[in-house]
Amino acid sequence: MANITSVRGFRDILPEETPKWQRVEEKIRKIFFNFGIKEIRIPILEKTELFKRGIGEATDIVEKEMYTFVDRGNEQLTMRPEATASVIRSYIEHHMYEKDPVAKLFTIGPMFRRERPQKGRFRQFHQINVEFLGQDDPRIDADLMSMLIYLLTELGLEGLKLELNSLGCDTCRPAFREKVILFLKDKENRLCEDCRRRLGSNPLRVFDCKNESCQETISGAPTILDFICPECTGHFEKVTGHLEILNVPYSINKRMVRGLDYYTRTAFEITSGALGAQNAVTGGGRYDGLVQMLGGPAMPGIGFAIGFDRLISMLPDNYGEDTGSPNIFIATMGESAQGRAFSICNALKRAGIRADMDFSGKSLKAQMKRANKLNCSHTLIIGDTELEEGIAPLRNMRDGTQDSVAIKNADALIEKINN
RNA sequence: GUGGGUGUAGCUCAGUUGGUUAGAGUGCCUGGUUGUGGCCCAGGAGGUCGCCGGUUCAAAUCCGGUCACUCACCCCA
């Protein structure tokens, strides 16, 4: 009978790797706490309509990547492909803006997109999302990006590049869009198949097409920064100004656009050369129209998502390893020793000390080998008849020196280990 | 959805122009040695060679199909 395997693009994160995830999450939570960002936990399943309206009907995500199904109650549901729409839905549903229009929220969890898997891309992947709602001051944008850079640097990442652009707003982007369509109309035959299709749905995407001919064609086109309205220009200039004040290095990428429809004004991306083709570790931007679009009040917002899996893959293998705390292995010789070891081992664990032992009755050699494998700091050997008190030497594994103090009971041992 | 690469032991991989009981390293188990583990020595378990079909006296090896993994396009974090 054939074995059952995991679903394509859905992977197990094995015990060797989970400490990395835990350490990163701990550090991030601490930083978010200091920046006044509170956690929100949202469902994995939402009504399909939420993403259609939020992300945009014509986007690749909605068009062909969502896990959508009809449930037994005949309702169209979707496993979330991203978190922002859900956070906004919750913000509106619970009238959070009534209590306090300003909300700084984060959420961590899995997202689902049915793409072809490759390096740094899975069908179930994990994101750390941050949303700042209720404020459109350019300082918010700068503060958000500065925190992000700080956070990634704190985690030990190097070679990061922050790129940003402005996408304009509802009033200036449509005009720019028309201009681009007009510009490309008579050059259509020089565009790739995808871009010709995009011309009708999302012509701005031609800007970041990787096809050479497309790049050449679009290079003469007006760029959005020359075209956006004075308000948007002002906002963008202030954002970059504040970034400079905060000493955050950045570069402007006039051709960067976003694949989700809700973005307005500030859009940014952080990339790393260490990631392969899927080089974006973070992406985000402002979405001043989204709250209203989803049925809430007119309320600005900005946010980002960190690709958790990609972030983890950039960290060294030993990241998050516990090295300091004591880790005891109890080896036994003989039946009666096992009995005493059993209760001592249990007492150690309840006293907050990591401890383990072997019940299989294997040779001492095998037990010691196991202790070594578990990377134990100390091995305690308990003999069958030696030492009336019942406990033999506590031995340090690392330098081989013996500590031959006989210990009378578990309490004395705990004290010894803790001193 | 499109293209390239790869599927042989738990893991990393050899396997010459098709030819007998398919190998190594590592890991695992047992024993020896060792001032009770690391080093060394001996032995052992473990594989329908991804799956199906074809060619052949004979297929891990050649051909076709299929599935999986992987990298890239696309898209995005």
Q: What is the pLDDT of residue A400?
A: 42
Q: Is A249 helix (H, G, I), strand (E, B) or coil?
A: coil
The three-point CA angle A268-A50-A121 to 5° equals 50
For residue A138, give every residue at least 6 positions away whose Cβ sits within 8 Å of its Cβ, in sequence order, or none: A235, A236, A238, A239, A241, A242
Q: Does residue A95 approach strand B to less than 7 Å at its CB?
A: no
Q: What is the pLDDT of residue A398?
A: 40
CB neighbour burial string for A309-346, b if at least 16 within 10 angstroms, e if fewer = bbbbbbbeeebbeeeeeebbbbbbbeeebbebbeebbe
Q: What is the pLDDT of residue A60?
A: 86
Q: What is the pLDDT of residue A419?
A: 62
Within 2-41 of chain A, which residues have Cβ less than 7 Å from strand B?
Answer: 5-6, 8-9, 11
Within 137-176 of chain A, which residues have Cβ less than 7 Å from strand B?
Answer: none
Q: What is the pLDDT of residue A406?
A: 46
Separation between Cα atoms, residue A391 and residue A344, nearest integer Å: 10
Q: What is the pLDDT of residue A183?
A: 81
Nearest CA among A152, A249, A263, A145 for reference residue A202: A263
Q: Does residue A329 approach strand B to less than 7 Å at its CB?
A: no
Within 371-400 of chain A, which residues have Cβ less than 7 Å from strand B?
Answer: 371-373, 381, 392-393, 397, 400
ipTM for the whole complex: 0.85
The strand pairing partners of A269, in sequence order, are A163, A283
Phi-psi region of A390 (alpha: psi -120 to 50; beta: other; left: phi over 0): left
Any idea which nucleotide's C1' is nearest the CA of A61? B75
Separation between Cα atoms, residue A88 and residue A106, nearest integer Å: 12
Within 262-291 of chain A, which residues have Cβ less than 7 Å from strand B?
Answer: 269, 276-284
Q: What is the pLDDT of residue A375?
A: 81
Å: A278 CA to B70 C1': 15
Contact A165, A251 (CB under 8 A): no
- What's the DSSP call for residue A265? E
Q: For the segment A118-142, what is each residue's pLDDT rounded down to a tens digit?
A: 999 999 999 999 999 999 999 999 9
Å: A12 CA to B6 C1': 21
Nearest CA among A178, A151, A198 for reference residue A304: A151
Q: What is the pLDDT of residue A412?
A: 66
Contact A386, A398 (CB under 8 A): no
Separation between Cα atoms, residue A166 and residue A234, nearest integer Å: 11
The stretches in chain A having pLDDT less than 50 are 1, 386-406
Phi-psi region of A14 (alpha: psi -120 to 50; beta: other; left: phi over 0): beta
Listed as ranges, the nucleotides of chain B within 7 A of a protein C-beta are 1-3, 28-31, 33-34, 36-38, 68-77
Q: Is the pTM of this model over 0.80?
A: yes
Q: Does residue A300 approach strand B to less than 7 Å at its CB?
A: no
Q: What is the pLDDT of residue A374?
A: 84
Q: What is the pLDDT of residue A403?
A: 44
